[in-house]
Structure 1
């Protein structure tokens, strides 16, 4: 290249912005090197570290979001890309850290129909007819879902109203129960034996048959029809009507279940995740099964739309298995919602066992998910036991009742029947059971409750329905006493929240060890307070320490005291007679108090006792003249409970 060509190329380079400058260097102090030509290792390393830190922070945030226990990311967990088979028991909670296997309990829901012949007196005539009864034996729900989220708040006064005696309905529940079935209805007429008849000392089988036939034709009849042959003899005892060896106790008690939490603090940590395994025995609407297991109607609609294209063309077969994961909607929620549900084919059916899975997404929608980690499906229906999830006795009865289609009035009466004997605000224990016997629903009559038993922590309480001659119906235990107690243990609206029990404690104000003479039931200021029982007001003014105080004198040496009231009810004073449930004052924080609450005391013959645990007398005891009839009615109910029934399926599913 000659000189002219080099000059031409140099001109073109300068025109394009090219600059002939020194090379980059790490030395920023060399001679005449212009600023900006040096290379800084500090700047380069800072840039690289900033990028790496950003990547790590974003990755950690995403990981925590998808794995966190208090987030709404269950759907992502369900959509994981691998589902390996785990070599671990199905009871292990793989969604939370733990050093021990979470215990499980078998969940029994035996709903059966029992047929029995009863004898009634209708318009002066005795009639024999078949009467169907429904028997429920079930474990109390260990998980509170949306099924009972709208249950009425616990209110002792409302419970008092729910336990008032009933009036006898169309069914005479004290009727005789027979072991022989009849077709339709058979009218019975009693006739005296002819005075001239003298039976032989020994008769043949043929003569005996003729005698029975003749007696039946003479004493049983139907109007405007030829004589009808029917015979139903009263046995020497109703126990002989039951099959020999038939157990009379509920078989819904969970066996071999041990609940030993690692620490008692687990019960106060709030709700956590739990999982339910169940088998649908018969084909029916899938929506009904989902509703009974905690799905709302809106959630059921979303699930059905999601599963529309995933169900087999022939529909879901009988015996499908469901695996439902529950968790809290929010950290302070007292109800669990279904996070994920998986449907599996019955055992032994050809094809992939897993049919479909839906999971709750971050925006509250149910989306399609892959099969969760495989576990061997149990043969019996089970549910994990999460100590933080165990509901109160009150909430569990509502959850169990609605799951088995009991109407709200019946559930409220059941709660009221045991509320005076059981602390309804206490958490249930795994394996607690309930047993119910009632008449079947009919077009012309509502179901009539006949018997209820609760088995809580190994203690069984039974109540039988009985009607007296005046038509008053109430429920009595085997000793002939009602569940209603002489005094209410929580005499304020809503029952309050127990803040301090009876016994020695460190005084919250004086910081000294003193006897706490009652129980403190916290409630909002102005909450109504009611008389715990019938009595006469003996004290009605300010008292040091107690603030505004009321004392009521009851019969047989019983007294109750109410402290820290904000104000009294107008029109009452010393000497006023009050009845159980009558408004006497309002919750406050007067006297030596650290916040609004009711200080409630019970004294027996001047001695202070624990209001929540002292054994109180029953308010109503069956009169002696009814004991024989009650024992007979109780034996009849026990006979029905001991009979084998026809299963009635509660949970059923079919293609949506």
Structure 2
């Protein structure tokens, strides 16, 4: 730039208001009048803090608005204090809320009776035997009812699913008859005396006359089509064995159930609110239905103390309705009751009228509230389906079992028997159901499980109790195979969290698409790893990429591998035989790994397969000699599942 151009540029800048002044400084100004060239650290700090505070406040406001409103304070529609005038109440329907599907829940606990034959002190008796039948949709939310259930542990499930040796009083394979008896009927067999000849029901002459007249009428001239009846008798009115049937299935189909497909985003979302409507079938205490629907003893006591001023009694009449709004707790992954509304039927008109409402405040106490927006009460119990609240299969089975007073030992066996076929850590779908058949409690309160059917999606799995001649009792599917597999699919304590599936993926370290030959089950460093099945150790060493690695060879061409271990268990070396459930190492992050997890893989005849979906051989099958007896047992149990409930039916659970 020449001097003329430089002067012209300077003149333009000066004309536009720019001037050549001293640089900015943090030093104090010369003289008493500031020249506007110094920096103020106090002003700069205040500006930055104001900006950060604004960002935090706006972020918190957005978080509360979209997904966290119940965490910070009780939603207004749940808590409408009764101290407010009724005309100022605001409609609880929040604009923009997505309409949740409502499913009709099935919850039946019934007594069915059948005549069975048993030997008592050497005598053959026929008597009525009551059985307990449960038909229910799986719980769609986890509540305080299942807070203290055992942690998911594959080894504990292996132990719980082992066959047992029955004693002489075991009722497995009961001889069930179609006819009904009153009281007890003793059966006594004795040889007929040689002189006894039973009188014929039809004489020879009458029989021959009947045959001759039938044949003559059939072939007479002008006769039409006819039937030849060679003999006839009165229908059998005595006791009869139930016939073996070839068809059948899970009895009782859950109808009118809205199914909401689960999305991948829903798996990561937090818990949300949902409302259930429960009918009190028989007059009685309010406590029992509340304890089976999300309340624990502490919350019931709080609600009872709140309602005692407006309800004359702690008992509720038959036909009363309960509306329970469930919401997330602040410190746990469990839904708690945010609001309880009680409705009584009018004795004169039968109309359902609001009696009282208790709502949870953000301080954790219950206060009286206004009646929530009116709804049309359906005949069946209903529950809103919120996909964020759907529990795992494991917890849902426990929640449902406890709601129906099923013994914890029986529930442990049920989840253990299905653990080999089903990923119990996956969420259920709305409409999944379970059916259970048990014996009635004996004098000590003991019950035996006879049958269980689990319906997940469109697949139903059934297991029938059967006792072999050596007294061993186990559960078999309709094909005579046990529910147990010879390999477990999640061989570490707690089952781990599925971090990466089998198949092609972008490698988290090398950032290239590669085949993932197993599944990654994330867990804490040091978590015990178990042998997936009985076998012989092939490798127990460092393997490039896998880190500390153990490989086990099983029968029939199956091999399993366990990578990235922090430590291989003592005594685990090539040639050592291990049993299913034995500790072989501990979770770590050795080799090419981004965090502590177990890389578990299965090979069949040298080829990698998906550990979570590959069809695994059964552990045990019934021998052919029991085929007829087992088919008879299946037919009899199906008959019990299809029978009408006895007059002493226990009302549908609340």
In structure 2, the CA distance between the partners of 1:619 and 1:258, relative to structure 1 (3 Å rule), is: same
CA pair 506-368 structure 1, distance change in 2 beyond 3 A: same
- Seen in structure 2, the aligned counterparts of structure 1 residues 651 and 631 have a Cα distance that, compared at 3 Å, is closer
Matches within 5 A, 1:466-481: 466-481=466-481
- The alignment partner of 1:515 has SS state of strand
Q: Find out whether 1:129 has 2:127 as its counterpart.
A: yes
- What does 1:159-178 correspond to in 2, within 5 Å? 159-169=157-167, 170-178=169-177
Q: What corresponds to 2:28 in structure 1? A: none
Cα pair distance change 1:247/1:587, threshold 3 Å: closer
Alignment of 1:61-210 (within 5 A): 68-74=69-75, 77-79=78-80, 81=84, 94=93, 97-98=96-97, 100-169=98-167, 170-199=169-198, 202-203=201-202
Deviates more, 1:610-619 or 1:150-159: 150-159
Alpha-carbon distance in 2 for matches of 1:590, 1:96: 52
Residue matched to 2:607: 607
Q: Which residue pairs with 2:294 in the alignment?
A: 294
What is the CA–CA distance in structure 1 between the aligned matches of 2:601 and 2:365, rounded to whole Å? Answer: 51
2: distance between equivalents of 1:109 and 1:512?
A: 51
Native 8 Å contact 1:488 1:533 kept in 2: yes
Distance 1:128 1:236, change over 3 A: closer
Question: Could you tell me the TM-score, scaled by structure 1's length?
Answer: 0.79
Contact 2:107–2:137 (CA under 8 A) maintained in structure 1: yes
Q: Which residue of 2 aligns with 1:224?
A: none
Q: Displacement, 1:581? A: 0.4
1: CA distance, partners of 2:425 / 2:87: 42
Map of 1:234 onto structure 2:
240
1:471-550 matches, within 5 Å, as 471-550=471-550
- Check 1:72–1:443 CA distance in 2 against 1; reply closer, same or farther (3 A cut): farther
Q: 1:413 to 1:592 in 2, by over 3 A?
A: same
SS in 2 for 1:120: strand
Change in Cα spacing, 1:233 to 1:260, as seen in structure 2 (3 Å) is closer
In structure 1, the partner of 2:385 is: 385
In structure 2, do the counterparts of structure 1 residues 199 and 376 end up closer, same or farther at CA, with 3 Å as the change threshold?
A: same
Per the alignment, residue 230 of structure 2 pairs with: none
Structure 2 equivalent of residue 426 of structure 1? 426
Q: Counterpart in 1 of 2:366?
A: 366
Task: Give distance in 1, aligned partners of 2:420 and 2:71.
Answer: 38
Q: Is 1:333 aligned to residue 332 of structure 2?
A: yes
Q: Deviations over 1:349-380 (max 9, x none)?
A: 55870000001112211111110111222221
Structure 1 segment 535-574 matched on structure 2, within 5 A: 535-574=535-574
- Structure 1 residues 247 and 619: alpha-carbon distance in aligned structure 2, compared to 1, 3 A threshold: closer
Deviation at 1:176, TM superposition (A): 1.1
Deviation at 1:149, TM superposition (A): 1.4
**1:235, CA displacement in angstroms?**
4.2
1:80-103 per-residue CA deviation (whole Å, 9 max, x = no partner) reads 5477999x9xxxx935843x4211
* Separation in 1, partners of 2:314, 2:548: 72
How far 1:267 sits from its partner (Å)?
3.2
Normalising by structure 2, what TM-score? 0.80
Deviations 1:140-171 (A, max 9, x none): 00011111111111111111111011222423
How far residue 236 of structure 1 moved from its aligned partner, in angstroms, is 6.7
Segments of 5+ residues of structure 2 without an aligned counterpart are 1-56, 204-236
Greater CA deviation, 193-202 or 356-365? 193-202
CA-CA distance at 1:635 after TM superposition: 1.2
**Structure 2 Cα separation of the partners of residues 510 and 449 of structure 1:** 52
Residues 294-344 of structure 1, C-alpha deviation per residue, up to 9 Å, x if partnerless?
1010111111111112124695321100000011012x7321000001001
Q: Residues 251, 172 of structure 1: CA spacing in aligned structure 2 closer, same or farther, 3 A cutoff? A: closer
Q: Runs of 5+ in structure 1 lacking a partner?
A: 1-56, 205-230, 241-245
Give per-residue Cα distances to partners, 1:271-296, cap 9 Å, x unaligned.
10000011111012211111100101
Q: Which residue of 2 aligns with 1:642?
A: 642
Please report the RMSD computed on the Cα atoms of aligned residues, expressed in angstroms: 2.8
SS in 2 for 1:69: helix
Distance 1:297 1:327 in 2: 18
Aligned residues between the structures: 554
Structure 1 residues 575 and 82: alpha-carbon distance in aligned structure 2, compared to 1, 3 A threshold: farther
Aligned partner of 1:253 in structure 2 is 254
Q: Who is 1:15 aligned against?
A: none
**Do the aligned residues in 2 keep the contact of 1:489 with 1:612 (CA within 8 Å)?**
yes
- Alignment partners' CA distance in 2, 1:236 and 1:378: 39
- Map Cα deviations across residues 551-608 of structure 1 (whole Å, 9 max, x no partner): 1000000000000111111122100000000111111111000011100000000010
Q: How far apart are the structure 2 equivalents of 1:594 and 1:335?
A: 31
CA contact (8 A) 2:547 2:591 kept: yes
Q: CA shift at 1:181, angstroms? A: 3.0
Residue 116 of structure 1: how far off its partner (Å): 1.1
Q: In structure 2, how many angstroms separate the alpha carbons of the residues matched to 1:315 and 1:445?
A: 27
Output the CA distance in 2 between the equivalents of 1:274 and 1:281: 22
Q: Summarize the Cα distance change of 1:110–1:83 in structure 2 as closer, same or farther, 3 Å threshold.
A: farther
CA distance in 2, matches of 1:160, 1:334: 27
1:271-350 pair list within 5 angstroms: 271-312=271-312, 316-330=316-330, 333-346=332-345, 349-350=348-349
**1:410-458 CA deviation, whole Å, 9 max, x = no partner?**
1111100111011101110100000000011132451111000000001
Is the 2:601–2:608 contact (alpha carbons within 8 Å) kept by the matching residues of 1? yes
Shift of 1:260: 4.2
Asked if 2 retains the 8 angstrom alpha-carbon contact of 1:163 and 1:484, the reply is yes
Q: Is the 8 A contact 2:107 2:653 kept in 1?
A: no
